[in-house]
Structure 1
Amino acid sequence: MRRAALGLAAACLALAACQQPAVAGEAAVSAPAPKRVAAEKPGLKTAVFAGGCFWGVEAVFSHMKGVTSAVSGYHGGTERSAKYDIVSSGVTDHAEAVKVTYDPRVVRYDQLLQVFFSVVADPTLKNRQGPDVGAHYRAALVPMSEEQRAVAAAYLKQMAASGTWKKPIVTGIERAQAFYPAETYHQDFAQKNPRHPYIVRWDAPKVRALKAMYPSLYKASFTPD
């Protein structure tokens, strides 16, 4: 990912990324149906997901029924360092992440998890996803309630025992900390830049996989519902 202000250099870097060989984390996987169903009271809920570049994470969740907001941002570091140029240098504790607001009457937290590990993040990769490498591109679950934490822990355990992935599951659960929204130009990036080489190569396929694998949860329009 590169800032629009970086001009031609940004386009070249993004094009180079989209031309890299396919790596683990790109292909969709049929994650197992969660055995533990989230029991959440009525009312909008939030959860944070880190799964590599936040453009793709946001794009997928924005196309899910019941999701009313998906905001790209930074989680795990300080307010002072919550800036793209600093986070992308790899010297902070931040992860690129997306804060998802959803209506549990329409889509449950456990369903968000299943979609996340089916089409967004490869749980066997440590500190990388797709072409992006570094701790700030780590995959992590950030529950915002005890129920979410219990469901996330149960699902990670179920995933590890499922045999779906041949390598060990390394995605973990992180303690909820302050979430800092990313710069404006990062918000709804896939929607605003559908022909961007990075989106075409890495993120549009994730949205197509969501539509194909979970048609009952897919919506054509971006959030809000």
Structure 2
Amino acid sequence: MATAIFGAGCFWGVEAFFERFEGVTATRVGYTGGNVENPTYEQVKTGETGHAEAIRLEYDPSVITYAELVNIFFESHDPTSRNKQGVDVGHQYRSAIFYADASQKYIAEEKVKEWDAKGIFKRPIVSEIVELSTFYDAEEYHQKYIHKNGSVACGIG
């Protein structure tokens, strides 16, 4: 198995979106990219920790590639919106690809160029491409949130 980590706004919907794809074998929502160890949701939602709400995917690369996951990432949210997805506003909701190695970084950079060249979006992609730092699992009540609670709008809490 391999791992990919993305930030695409509120992690509840992003997790449910990615779970639909064959080859994605496990998901965990959490926080990464910040400067506080073991942050809580209450801390992250203030925007003061520097963390992004993110999803960690485990996937089978013989079934789905990292490049395909990056394509799905771009389809899962608005990658042209800086620090805002829907009603969620702040750096903690930023669009970001957290790469684990040079190969993931290269693929992410090439995919941004490819998607910008397609002209699908009216504005350029602003997704950050940053080296992965520690990923902290979110509290258990956030895991599989939509499965547990039904379709709930993000921006709550």
Partner SS state of residue 96, structure 2: strand
Greater Cα shift, 180-189 or 152-161: 152-161
Contact 1:65 1:106 in 2 (8 A): yes
Contact 2:29 2:53 in 1 (8 A): yes
Task: Read off the aligned partner of 1:87 and give its amino acid letter.
Answer: V
> Is there any run of 5+ residues in structure 1 with no aligned partner, and where?
1-43, 200-225
Contact 1:72 1:97 in 2 (8 A): yes
CA RMSD of aligned residues (A): 1.3
Partner of residue 58 from structure 2, selected from 92, 98, 101: 101
| 1:104 Cα deviation from its structure 2 partner | 0.5
Higher helix share: 1
Partner SS state of residue 125, structure 2: coil
Greater Cα shift, 93-102 or 72-81: 72-81
Task: Read off the aligned partner of 1:145 and give its amino acid letter.
Answer: D
| 1:152 Cα deviation from its structure 2 partner | 0.6
2:77 aligned partner = 121
Q: How does 1:19-168 map to 2 (within 5 A)?
A: 44-80=1-37, 82-118=39-75, 120-168=76-124
Partner SS state of residue 61, structure 1: helix
Partner SS state of residue 174, structure 1: strand
Contact 2:38 2:136 in 1 (8 A): no
CA distance in 2, matches of 1:60, 1:162: 23
Contact 2:36 2:49 in 1 (8 A): no
1:30 aligned partner = none
Contact 1:127 1:136 in 2 (8 A): yes
Residues 123, 149 of structure 1: CA spacing in aligned structure 2 closer, same or farther, 3 A cutoff? Answer: same
TM-score normalized with structure 1 length = 0.66
Over the matched positions of the two proteins, sequence identity in percent amounts to 43
Runs of 4+ in 1 over 6 A off after TM superposition: none
> Is there any run of 5+ residues in structure 2 with no aligned partner, and where?
none
Note if 1:180 corresponds to 2:109: no
Contact 1:127 1:135 in 2 (8 A): yes
Contact 2:3 2:59 in 1 (8 A): yes
Residues 105, 134 of structure 1: CA spacing in aligned structure 2 closer, same or farther, 3 A cutoff? Answer: same
CA distance in 1, matches of 2:78, 2:41: 23
Instruction: Count residues with an aligned counterpart.
Output: 154
Larger radius of gyration: 1
